[in-house]
Amino acid sequence: MHVAPRPRMTAGSWVILAGMALLSLIWLLPFVGVILTALRSQGDMMMNGVFTWPQEFLWSNFAKAWDVGDFAIYFRNSLFIIAMKVPLGILLAALAAYPLAKMTFRGRNGIFLFFLVGLAVPVQVALQPLVIMMRGLGLSNTLFALLPPYIAFGLPLQILVMRGFFRQIPTELIEAARVDGASELTIFRKIMIPLSVPPLAALFIIDTLATWNEFLLPLVLTSAKDSRTVPLGLLQFQGEHSSQYTLLMAGVLISIIPVLVIFLFLQRYFVAGLTAGAVKG
C-alpha cells in the first residue's frame, strides 16, 4: 500500500509557525501572571515578583477569596440570568429567523433590516430610557430588570446567524414535510432545530460570554448587593482588597472559570457554527 509522503515544511512555513508561537506566548503571558499570583502568598509576590515560581502553592487563596468576596451571591445571580436569558433569547431568535429564511410574505426583507439596525445601536443610548422603564414596571434594582434589555440587544446578531444557517437547509426538505401534513411549528421543532446544533451551540457560547461579562447594564439597573452579578461583585472586591493582589487574582480566576469550562466543552461547534451562519445572508 503506497502512502503519500508528508509535505516538507518550507522556511517560510517555519517562520510563520514561529511567529504564531511567539504571539501565542505574548497573549498567554498576562494569564500566566494571574495564575502565578493567585497561587502564592502576598510576601512571596512582593519579594520575588509575579513571573517567578511560587515558593509555596496556596490553594487556600481561592477559598478565602470566595468567602471574603461573597462570590456565592454573585455566581448565583449571574447563573440565574444566564439560565433565563440565553435559552429564551436564542429560542426567540430562531423563531424569528425561520420565517425570515424559509417563508415568503410581504415585508420580509424590511423586517430583517429592522433587526439588523439593532446591531448599530449602542447600549449607551438606551440607558436612561431603560432606567425609567424598569422603574415604571417596578423591576428597578432587581435581576428581572436585566432580562428584557439583555434579550433585546442580543437578538440582532442571533437572528442574523440563524437566518443565514436556515437558508442553507434545502427547501425541498421543508416542502416534503408540509406535503406530509406537518405544521410550521412541527417543521421548526423536528427539522430546523435538530439540524441547527452547530450555530445554536456557537450562539450559546457567545451569548453566555457576553451575558457573564456584561458590566454596564447591571451597574445602571441594579445596585443592591443581592442583585449584583459577577463583574459588579469583582469590582466591589477589587475596591475592598486593591492592595491584596493574591486574593484579587484568585477572585479574577474564580470569575472566569465557568465561561472557560463552557467554551472547552462546546468549542468544536464554535467555528463551524459561525461559519455556517455567515456563508449566506
Regions of the chain where pLDDT drops below 50: 1, 277-281
CATH number at 89 reads 1.10.3720.10
Q: Cα(207)–Cα(90) distance, rounded to whole angstroms?
A: 9
What does pTM read for this prediction? 0.83
Task: Give residue 199's pLDDT.
Answer: 87
Say if 113 falls within a structural domain.
yes
Task: Give residue 75's pLDDT.
Answer: 93
Task: Give residue 7's pLDDT.
Answer: 62
Same domain, 48 and 113: no
Task: Give residue 148's pLDDT.
Answer: 92
Same domain, 106 and 198: yes
Q: Cα(166)–Cα(7) distance, rounded to whole angstroms?
A: 38
Say if 49 falls within a structural domain.
yes
Q: Residue 171's CB: how many other CB atoms inside 10 A?
A: 10
Distances (CA, A) of 182 to 12, 32, 71, 97, 175: 56, 55, 48, 19, 10
Closest CA to 54 of 280, 250, 271, 251: 250
Task: Give residue 105's pLDDT.
Answer: 86
Same domain, 37 and 89: no
Task: Give residue 270's pLDDT.
Answer: 67
Name residue 130's amino acid.
L
Say if 6 falls within a structural domain.
no
Name residue 158's amino acid.
Q
Same domain, 194 and 272: yes
Distances (CA, A) of 213 to 228, 234, 255: 12, 11, 9
Same domain, 165 and 40: no
Same domain, 269 and 207: yes
Q: Cα(233)–Cα(72) distance, rounded to whole angstroms?
A: 10
Q: Cα(153)–Cα(118) distance, rounded to whole angstroms?
A: 7
Query: What does the block give as the cell for 249?
Result: 487574582
Q: 218: domain range?
A: 69-278
Q: Residue 144's CB: how many other CB atoms inside 10 A?
A: 17
